């Protein structure tokens, strides 16, 4: 009996040992599995985090790229509108300037035409005036012939007296006849007088310094400009 009991006890102890071993093995398996799971989780977790970060960066880059494209497109549109506006303004200014140039050119041509017409009219009037002067001189020579010493020249009559008098008496002689001593204002008049006066003959002219000695004036009060 005791031996059987002992065997039973040993069998129980063996069963307990097996159970303990199995439990340890189970625990060891569980622990191993847990470890494997932990390692798997540790291995999978970083991989999952890296994929999420890459996806976030990709999405952010895509959004930035889209925004950049929108900004560039907006800038291009604004620039095109600005350039077109400037081009339109420049074209309008150019057209206005061309129109002004055309108007000024037409006005210049018109002024040149008017100037030419006025020159022609002036030349015609001067020619007609010269003809009228010639006709007048011819008529004066007909109706006012030289007599009693009177001579006509440049719209004036000249009298050359052969009487010998001093300057004062000569002037009085002229004024009594509604005239005065000659005033020479140009070379043509001087040449006319020289031709009418004989060589060696002296005549009085209307030049005097009676008001102030050394200051010569013509009898009409003017100062000599030709001499």
Please name the residues in contact with 97: beta carbons below 8 A apart, sequence gap of 6 or more: none
**pLDDT given at position 203:** 86
How high is the pLDDT of residue 71? 94
- Across residues 159-173, what is the average pLDDT? 89
Helix (H, G, I), strand (E, B) or coil at 226: coil
Least confidently predicted of 42-51, 121-130, 144-153 = 42-51
Interval 168-181 mean pLDDT: 91
Mean pLDDT of 27-56: 53
Contacts of 180 (CB under 8 A, 6+ apart): 171, 174, 206, 219, 220
The per-residue pLDDT for 202 is 81
User: Architecture of domain 146-218 in CATH?
Assistant: Roll (3.10)
User: What is residue 144's predicted lDDT score, i.e. its pLDDT?
Assistant: 64
Q: In which band, very low, low, confident or very high, does the pLDDT at 118 lie, cut at 50, 70 and 90?
A: very high
CA max distance for the chain = 215
Would the pTM count as exceeding 0.75? no
Whole-number pLDDT of residue 156: 84
225 touches 185 (CB < 8 A):
yes
């Amino acid at each position: 009996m005791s031996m059987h009991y002992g065997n039973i006890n040993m069998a129980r102890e063996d069963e307990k040992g097996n159970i303990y071993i199995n439990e340890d093995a189970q625990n060891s398996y569980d622990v191993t599995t847990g470890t494997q799971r932990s390692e798997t989780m540790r291995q999978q977790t970083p991989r999952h985090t890296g994929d999420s970060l890459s996806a976030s960066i990709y999405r952010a880059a895509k959004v930035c790229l889209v925004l950049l494209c929108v900004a560039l497109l907006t800038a291009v549109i604004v620039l095109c509108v600005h350039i077109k506006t400037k081009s339109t303004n420049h074209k309008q200014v150019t057209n206005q300037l061309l129109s002004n140039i055309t108007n000024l050119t037409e006005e210049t041509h018109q002024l040149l035409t008017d100037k030419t017409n006025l020159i022609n009219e002036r030349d015609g009037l001067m020619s007609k005036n010269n003809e009228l002067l010639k006709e007048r001189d011819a008529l004066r020579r007909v109706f006012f012939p030289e007599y009693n010493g009177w001579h006509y020249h440049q719209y004036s009559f000249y009298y050359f007296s052969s009487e010998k008098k001093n300057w004062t008496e000569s002037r009085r002689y002229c004024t009594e006849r509604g005239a005065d001593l000659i005033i020479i204002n140009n070379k043509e008049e001087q040449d006319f007088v020289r031709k009418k006066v004989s060589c060696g003959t002296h005549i009085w002219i209307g030049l005097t310094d009676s008001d102030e000695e050394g200051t010569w004036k013509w009898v009409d009060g003017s100062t000599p400009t030709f001499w």
